[in-house]
Amino acid sequence: MSTLCIHGLGYIGLPTAAMFANYGHDVVGYDTSEEVVSRLSQGDVHIDEPGLRAFVTQAIESDKLTISNEVVSAKYHIICVPTPFDRESKEAGLEYVESAGEAIVPHLRPGDTVILESTVPPGTTADVLRPVLEESTLEAGKDFALAHCPETVLPGDIITELKQNARIIGGVNGVSTEAAVRLYESFVEAEIHTTADATTAEFVKLIQNTFRDANIAIANEIAKLSHDYEIDSREAISLANEHPRVNIHHPGPGVGGHCLPVDPWFLGQNSEKLDLIKHAREVNDGMSSYIIDILDEELDGLEDSTIAILGVAYKGNVGDTRESPGLKLARELQSPAMQEEEPALADGGPQADPVKAPTVTLHDPHVTDQTLQLSPLEEAVDDADAIVVTTDHDEFEEMDPHSVGRWMDGDLIVDTKAILDEHDWNTEGFRVSRI
Ligand SMILES: NC(=O)C1=CN([C@@H]2O[C@H](COP(=O)(O)OP(=O)(O)OC[C@H]3O[C@@H](n4cnc5c(N)ncnc54)[C@H](O)[C@@H]3O)[C@@H](O)[C@H]2O)C=CC1
Ligand SMILES: CC(=O)N[C@@H]1[C@@H](OP(=O)(O)OP(=O)(O)OC[C@H]2O[C@@H](n3ccc(=O)[nH]c3=O)[C@H](O)[C@@H]2O)O[C@H](C(=O)O)[C@@H](O)[C@@H]1O
């Protein structure tokens, strides 16, 4: 068993810290956020993830996991800090990785191992983190081990996937790789694959998410084609997937979360070769304007309309709103472009009136973010002309069409996740449009 210091106690760092602790290691969980440290120290688990509260409580109560606002010396340092995406430059911000490295320097001792888990552009471990750590005057690969071990867990199933997903580990040299492998072997049940270097491990992580994003772009384009041919895209995809070598994903309102929409750009950060991958991103980002076109056509114009968006989490049954397709749709419905002048009056006639942008209401039973103007279901759909379902939360699947029909004004429901029973909703007088 070893001593560990985990840097960053978010969606990845907290379950990882608890996992190592519950497997007998002595773990200190360090976070720069006073709020995170104070809440966790009082036993309040701030991350919404099934089973996590009990898992973290078990680790803390066994005294194997200590929460701290200070970095400590440890045999292993694991970095799980954010790598935010800059929408303008389309680049990864590496400032948190650098500051985590700087905080390790005074505590780094010969024989220690530093592992970067955060998702980063290829080359980051070797070219960005390594020089920061070597400020200690110790040499990576010789005096201390340095490796990248990307995280691949699926939010909603993190604890199981932590143990059961195969791991990819790449060190700056063989000794570094072996040191990291020895640690993860303590709880990982699946295979641990090693790569020639850290850059390959970084690259492999990014192409996994890029593949999924591009596959969803194909599904989204298939959905648009199906609409023109007046066929059911879901049925077509499901039948196509009967072929043993075809596995098309599901269409939807666009791709959210801070991983799939971001990682393809990280992949191209130090290369000019993004082409199809970039186009796939654009297809997925364009789904919000495709939904607006559907609403516009079905409602015969959006002027003065009220649209209720059900789902501002980035996907079903989670509370995370990062890169949320529902919020993107809301922003675009209310953007200045929606308030352009009437086309008929656009040549500047003296009576030209601006078109009033739609009123948008939001509802999401999983999201607690106080900065969003969320309403209870009845209030959100009250007097709405249309509903757009943008996440596959269980609560939405179970909605009662009779009650919803009484509350709202219109009869249009755009089911971007195909979760509603079309027959039941049609019976209550709804027009259901699926993607
Ligand atoms: N959330 C996910 O599903 C997955 C995330 N990742 C990657 O893991 C990394 C972490 O992501 P999340 O856990 O989702 O982020 P998060 O935002 O939930 O948590 C990060 C935590 O790090 C803390 N922090 C910031 N700078 C720090 C520093 N210098 N030292 C110590 N703590 C610091 C923050 O206060 C925060 O509590 C990112 O690179 C992300 O792309 C990878 C796979 C899955
Ligand atoms: C390759 C892969 O499956 N990567 C996972 C992904 O987690 P994440 O929760 O972001 O993935 P997700 O469930 O595909 O959801 C992303 C977005 O894609 C949408 N989505 C997903 C599947 C699909 O068929 N159609 C679709 O539109 C979702 O609704 C959501 O908006 O990214 C995580 C990460 O890297 O952070 C990674 O650890 C996870 O294993």
Q: What is the pLDDT of residue 336?
A: 66
d(CA 75, CA 204): 27
Q: What is the three-class DSSP state of 11?
A: coil
For the CA of 324, the nearest ligand: 2
All domains in the chain, ordered by first residue: 3-198 (3.40.50.720), 286-434 (3.40.50.720)
Other beta carbons within 10 Å of 405: 17
Condensed to tens digits (0 to 9), the pLDDT of residues 276-306 reads: 999 999 999 999 999 999 999 999 999 999 9
CA atoms within 13 A on the CB side of 354: 9
- Range with the lowest mean pLDDT among 197-201, 316-320, 408-412? 316-320
* Phi, psi (rounded to 5 degrees) for 193: -95, 140
For the CA of 77, the nearest ligand: 1
Q: What is the three-class DSSP state of 389?
A: strand
Q: Is the pLDDT of residue 350 over 60?
A: no
Structure tokens at 405: 């029909």
Contact 418, 432 (CB under 8 A): no
Condensed to tens digits (0 to 9), the pLDDT of residues 141-190 reads: 999 999 999 999 999 999 999 999 999 999 999 999 999 999 999 999 99
Q: How confident is the model at residue 339 (pLDDT cuts 50, 70, 90)?
A: low
Structure tokens at 423: 């027959």
Does ligand 1 have an atom closer than 6 angstroms to the CB of 68? no
Rounded alpha-carbon distances, angstroms, from residue 426 to 117, 382, 406, 421: 48, 19, 14, 9
List, as one string, the DSSP characters of 241-302.
TTSTT-------S---SSSTTTHHHHHTTT-S--SHHHHHHHHHHTHHHHHHHHHHHHHT--
Condensed to tens digits (0 to 9), the pLDDT of residues 7-57 reads: 999 999 999 999 999 999 999 999 999 999 999 999 999 998 899 999 999
Does ligand 1 have an atom closer than 6 angstroms to the CB of 13? yes
List, as one string, the DSSP characters of 91-154.
EE--HHHHHHHHHHGGG--TT-EEEE-S---TTHIIIIIHHHHGGGS--BTTTBEEEE----PP
**Which of 9, 12, 133 most suits a substitution to test ligand 1, by most atoms within 8 Å of the C-beta?**
12
Q: What is the pLDDT of residue 341?
A: 45
| Interface ipTM | 0.98
Respond yes or no: is residue 5 known to be catalytic.
no
Task: Give the binding-site residues of ligand 2, using a 6 Å CB cut-off.
Answer: 119, 151-155, 208-209, 212, 216, 249-250, 252, 255-257, 259-260, 314-315, 325
Contact 56, 29 (CB under 8 A): no
